Amino acid sequence: GAVVSQHPSWVICKSGTSVKIECRSLDFQATTMFWYRQFPKQSLMLMATSNEGSKATYEQGVEKDKFLINHASLTLSTLTVTSAHPEDSSFYICSARSGGAGEQYFGPGTRLTVT
Amino acid sequence: AQSVTQLGSHVSVSEGALVLLRCNYSSSVPPYLFWYVQYPNQGLQLLLKYTTGATLVKGINGFEAEFKKSETSFHLTKPSAHMSDAAEYFCAVTAAWAQSWSGGGSNYKLTFGKGTLLTVNP
């Protein structure tokens, strides 16, 4: 149980275009989902927290107009990187909280490369 | 505010040797503590967690960790390393009180350490 999927697993896009990453909780309802960014050989940096049906809460320094998050249902959250630039290239990981004792279940990550 | 310090960004052990990965935390409220493992180009997998009750917690793949409040530590151990244990390990903390109500989701956020890369030598 508690499986989280992400799609796509990797994506290459051209500078200036937008790309959408999906995060799904496959076997549980996730009232809260999280989006992280991870640079090579570094820890996870929380970008934003999203609750189903409400606006996402962004961490300080994260541009909400560039990283659009939509938590449309209890099993789906999306991250859209708008007008992507090479510096947005990174590994993006989502997680979902299933309630209870607070652990988060992580997706497999999406490798974004902007050329 | 909470923080996590993982001592040693890289730990190397021989196959069959004891694995000890150190984690110290800082929290002004009772913490929930977690250890996650990450294999290359993959997401994080929960190894074990401490919430309440027994301070020695056992996880998957033979790992265990002990919550020591007096030392603000949550070190991860495994008696005998296996080649398949080679990965990045992250310690994380969240506020225990935040889990008892269904308020704003940002209260559930995890604070991660910088990670420890475990290398297992044959």
Question: What is the 3-state secondary structure of chain B?
Answer: CEEEEEECCEEEEECCCCEEEEEEEEECCCEEEEEEEECCCCCEEEEEEECCCCCEEECHHHCEEEEECCCCEEEEEECCCCHHHCEEEEEEEEEHHHHHCCCCHHHHCCEECCCEEEEEEC
CA A18 to chain B, closest CA, distance in angstroms equals 22
pLDDT over threshold 80, residue A98: no
Mean pLDDT of A73-102: 89
pLDDT over threshold 50, residue A100: yes
pLDDT tens, residue by residue, B25-66: 998 888 889 999 999 888 899 999 998 889 999 999 999 999
Q: Confidence band (pLDDT; 50, 70, 90) for A15?
A: very high
pLDDT over threshold 90, residue B67: yes
Interface of A with B in 60-89 (CB under 8 A): none
Which residue, chain included where needed, has tokens 């002990």?
Answer: B66
Query: Would you give the DSSP letter of residue A56?
Result: P
According to the model, what pLDDT value does residue A80 have? 97
Q: Do B32 and A107 touch (CB under 8 A)?
A: no
For chain B, say whether A91 makes contact (Cβ under 8 Å): yes
Identity of the amino acid at B32: Y
Spacing of C-alpha B80 from chain mean position: 18
Q: Confidence band (pLDDT; 50, 70, 90) for B102?
A: very low
B102 against A70, higher pLDDT:
A70
CA B52 to chain A, closest CA, distance in angstroms equals 9
What is the SS3 assignment for A86?
helix
